């Protein structure tokens, strides 16, 4: 009996460190993966990207990345691991870039939380959990404060406020806000926004969350003689108790 217990104890002591080291190794691999991804994107070594993905996830990423790269130039990426499990991790991604539209330069600031699933130090799948992108005129003095939830309940009626913190003068501000469908994000226009003039110093609107869990993407724009400010934000929609 004693020998049996000793044997079990020895087996436990031998196996437990191995399992711990294995998990630690995967966590280190995931951290290394995020560092490599940041380095490749900042150094514009796009030919190396496919080495970090499985084929299916690479095709998905590459299509989105090429579309982004064709519109935005001189992008600076910051990719940090904020939650690191052996096979699933959360990345905090920040992108700063510029875009020229009708000879006007705009600054882009994007913040994303992305969940990645990895296998053998490659990205098997990924999903954008949170997403907020702000595009504004490069030399615009507009300062806008955003008041918005990051998560709402199914069917909830919630409010989004864009407040011009330092009104420039008595010039009329025009603004509009819409809920984007999946196929609208890359093809939006002033008509779609329903932009209307106002002198309230911002944009305030109530939104109805969908009845099914998932996400809802809101896009808003504020225009002023001194510049343009627009934001696109993904809001998580969850069931009660989640």
Q: Is the pLDDT of residue 84 over 70?
A: yes
Residue 226 has pLDDT above 50, yes or no: yes
Beta bridge partners of 161: 147, 204
74 token code pair: 């001189």
Cα(210)–Cα(183) distance, integer angstroms:
17
Query: What would the pLDDT profile of 138-153 be if each residue is shown by its tens digit?
Result: 877 778 888 899 899 9
- What are the backbone angles phi and psi of residue 150, rounded to the nearest 5°? -95, -15
- CA–CA distance, 132 with 40 (Å, rounded to integer): 23
Higher pLDDT, 115 or 189: 115
What integer pLDDT is reported at residue 212 of this predicted model?
A: 92
Q: What is the pTM for the complete model shown?
A: 0.76
Mean pLDDT rounded to a whole number for the chain: 79
Please write the tens of the pLDDT for every residue from 29-70: 667 888 999 999 999 999 999 999 999 999 999 999 999 998
9 DSSP β-pair partners: none
| Selected residue with higher pLDDT from 205 and 27 | 205
Q: What is the mean pLDDT of residues 99-118?
A: 89
Distance CA 192, CA 176 (A): 9
Non-local CB neighbours of 59 within 8 Å, separated by 6+ positions: none
Higher pLDDT, 170 or 187: 170
Going from the N-terminus, what domains does the chain have, and what CATH number goes with each? 1-139 (3.10.450), 140-242 (2.60.40.730)
């Amino acid at each position: 009996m004693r020998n049996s217990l000793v044997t079990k104890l020895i087996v436990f002591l031998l196996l437990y460190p191995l399992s711990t080291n294995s998990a630690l190794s995967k966590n280190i691999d995931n951290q290394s993966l995020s560092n490599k991804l940041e380095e490749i994107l900042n150094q514009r070594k796009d030919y190396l990207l496919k080495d970090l993905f499985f084929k299916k996830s690479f095709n998905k990423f590459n299509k989105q990345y090429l579309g982004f790269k064709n519109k935005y130039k001189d992008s600076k990426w910051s990719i940090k691991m904020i939650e690191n499990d052996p096979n699933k991790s959360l990345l905090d991604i920040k992108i700063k870039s510029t875009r020229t539209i009708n000879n006007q330069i705009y600054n882009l600031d994007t913040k994303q939380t992305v969940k990645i699933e990895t296998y053998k130090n490659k990205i098997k799948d990924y999903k954008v959990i949170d997403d907020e992108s702000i595009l504004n005129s490069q030399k615009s003095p507009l300062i806008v404060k955003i008041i918005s939830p990051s998560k709402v309940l199914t069917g909830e009626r919630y409010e989004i406020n864009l407040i011009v913190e330092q009104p420039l003068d008595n010039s009329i501000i025009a603004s509009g806000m819409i809920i984007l469908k999946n196929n609208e994000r890359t093809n939006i226009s002033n008509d779609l926004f329903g932009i209307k003039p106002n002198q309230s110093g911002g944009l305030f609107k109530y939104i109805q969350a969908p009845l099914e869990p998932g996400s809802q993407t809101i896009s808003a724009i504020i225009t002023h003689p001194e510049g343009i400010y627009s934001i696109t934000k993904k809001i998580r929609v969850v069931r009660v108790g989640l």
